[in-house]
């Protein structure tokens, strides 16, 4: 969420940013919020004037009472009451106007970084760099669920009966591999200096609206009926929410955390054949990383975060590339974002396995996450997040890139301690 002062002094910049994000329908919101802002400031001035007048009249009442002039004192008291009634009415109107301002401000997108490429949607994202040599073996690679089924490692049919489409049972060595990847990702991030956390898996509505846009909320979140609780779509929601309404001493920054959680998502919309199986699902587990830092450090941490994901995937013999998200593909709160995509030798192309985002002070402004410097000045923190690893989607990349011609799956050396020393998974 932008600072209303910024919008007030830079309306043309805000409008141009909206155009860059191809959200022209939001252009009228800028003028609307400016009108409401002017109205709000006028109300405040009138309230201040009425209160100042009340103080002056109160002093006169005291003087009249001292002089025994009760009639004049009573007249002055009536004026005080009239002022009080006006203040009460104006204060009520002020709250209503401020709510309208906040609602609109939460719909106006954040100012994107100048380096973000301009484009309408993800088809115009820009490749940054490739890591590892993408290989297509001479033998045919089956669809990921077929690979899992060859190890008796997945049961979609039973899951469909129990919970419907978008759910699965993982079993045996595949379930163990799933847990091994999560455990390895946890230790990988701990070794890089991040503090491990397990957060609440449900959050209140004020946290939801603090960490994401209304459009994302509607598309992703499951609400608990009859309660002010939502199932999290990623542990970033809980982890950023951890700092709500807090004043962080500057010397305690940056806060670097890595968190495990299950994730729950509606995943609205129709999906293609390549998104069957366990690619796009309603429930999965994820290891996440988040950073809360000083504004001048957020660009540095953005680079560090996506590199962590690249390094992890490369340690598992999975080629990856990074894509710069274009303006139209950025969620409203994001300043800058890149996707990490893993190589699929079966499809002979890359597919998304994680996303790194710098949100500037947008989340901090919504949630009231401030920093107090040594000189006593206060400012909003910057927040960032990135996927460490999100199986089972990551398992698709792992299985395809480590599948052997005989049908077994090679276990990279770094993962073997988490798999009881196994060097490969063999067909049952």
Do 138 and 90 share a structural domain? Answer: no
pLDDT digits (tens, 9 = 90+) for 374-420: 999 999 999 999 999 998 889 999 999 999 999 999 999 999 999 99
CATH classification of the domain holding 180: 3.30.930.10
Do 320 and 231 share a structural domain? Answer: yes
CA 155 to CA 274: how far, in whole Å? 18
Domain final residue pick, 105, 134, 160: 105
Do 38 and 186 share a structural domain? Answer: no
pLDDT band, residue 278 (cuts 50/70/90)? confident
Are 164 and 156 in contact by the 8 Å Cβ rule? The answer is no
CATH classification of the domain holding 72: 1.10.287.40
pLDDT at 16 over 60: yes
Domain ranges, residue 20 = 4-105
Question: What pLDDT does residue 270 have?
Answer: 45
Mean pLDDT score of the chain, rounded to an integer?
92
DSSP string, 235-258: HHHHHHHTTTTEEEEGGG--EEEE
pLDDT digits (tens, 9 = 90+) for 213-245: 877 888 889 999 999 999 999 999 999 999 999
pLDDT band, residue 49 (cuts 50/70/90)? confident
pLDDT band, residue 62 (cuts 50/70/90)? low
Tell me the pTM: 0.89
Do 24 and 131 share a structural domain? Answer: no
Positive or negative, the CA dihedral 328, 329, 332, 336 is negative
pLDDT digits (tens, 9 = 90+) for 335-383: 999 999 999 999 999 999 999 999 999 999 999 999 999 999 999 999 9
Query: How many domains are contained in the chain?
Result: 2
Do 274 and 147 share a structural domain? Answer: yes
pLDDT > 90: percent of the chain: 81
pLDDT > 70: percent of the chain: 95
Flag whether 115 is in a domain.
no
**Six token digits for residue 196:** 């491990």
**Length of the chain measured in residues:** 428
For strand 255-264 and strand 283-293, is the pairing parallel, antiparallel, or unpaired? antiparallel
Domain final residue pick, 76, 105, 134: 105
Q: Looking at per-residue confidence, does 267 or 169 come out higher?
A: 169
Do 401 and 261 share a structural domain? Answer: yes
Do 203 and 96 share a structural domain? Answer: no
131-156 mean pLDDT: 94
């Amino acid at each position: 969420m932008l600072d209303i002062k910024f919008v007030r002094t830079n309306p043309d910049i805000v409008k141009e940013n909206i155009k860059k994000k191809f959200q022209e329908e939001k252009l009228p919101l800028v003028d609307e919020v400016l009108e409401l802002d002017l109205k709000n400031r006028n109300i405040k001035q009138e309230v201040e004037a009425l209160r100042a007048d009340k103080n002056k009249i109160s002093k006169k009442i005291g003087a009249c009472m001292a002089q025994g002039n009760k009639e004049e004192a009573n007249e002055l008291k009536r004026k005080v009451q009239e002022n009080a009634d006006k203040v009460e009415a104006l204060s009520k109107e002020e709250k209503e106007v401020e709510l309208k301002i906040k609602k609109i401000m939460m719909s106006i997108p954040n100012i994107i970084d100048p380096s973000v490429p301009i484009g309408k949607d993800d088809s115009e994202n820009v490749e940054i760099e490739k890591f590892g040599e993408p290989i297509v073996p001479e033998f045919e690679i089956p669809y990921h669920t077929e690979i899992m089924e060859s190890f008796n490692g997945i049961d979609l049919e039973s899951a469909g009966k129990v919970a419907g489409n978008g759910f699965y049972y993982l079993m045996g060595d595949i379930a163990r591999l799933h847990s091994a990847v999560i455990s390895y990702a946890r230790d990988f991030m701990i070794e890089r200096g991040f503090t491990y956390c397990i957060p609440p898996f449900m959050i209140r509505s004020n946290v939801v609206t603090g960490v994401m846009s209304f459009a994302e909320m509607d598309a992703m979140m499951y609400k608990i009926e009859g309660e002010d609780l939502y199932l999290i779509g990623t542990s970033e929601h809980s982890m950023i929410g951890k700092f709500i309404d807090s004043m962080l001493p500057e010397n305690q920054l940056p806060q670097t955390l890595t968190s495990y959680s299950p994730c729950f998502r509606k995943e609205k919309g129709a999906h293609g054949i390549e998104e069957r199986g366990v690619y796009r699902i309603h429930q999965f587990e994820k290891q996440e990383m988040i950073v809360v830092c000083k504004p001048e450090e957020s660009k540095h941490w953005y680079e560090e975060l996506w590199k962590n994901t690249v390094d992890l995937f490369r340690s598992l013999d999975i080629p990856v590339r990074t894509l710069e998200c274009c303006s139209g593909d950025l969620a409203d709160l994001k300043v800058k974002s890149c996707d990490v995509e893993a190589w699929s030798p079966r499809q002979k192309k890359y597919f998304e396995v994680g996303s790194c985002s710098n949100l500037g002070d947008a989340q901090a402004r919504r949630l009231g996450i401030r920093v107090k410097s040594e000189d006593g000045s206060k400012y909003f923190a910057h927040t960032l997040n990135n996927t460490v690893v999100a199986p089972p989607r990551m398992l698709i990349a792992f299985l395809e890139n480590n599948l052997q011609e005989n049908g077994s799956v090679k276990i990279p050396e770094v993962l073997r301690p988490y798999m009881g020393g196994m060097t490969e998974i063999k067909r049952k």
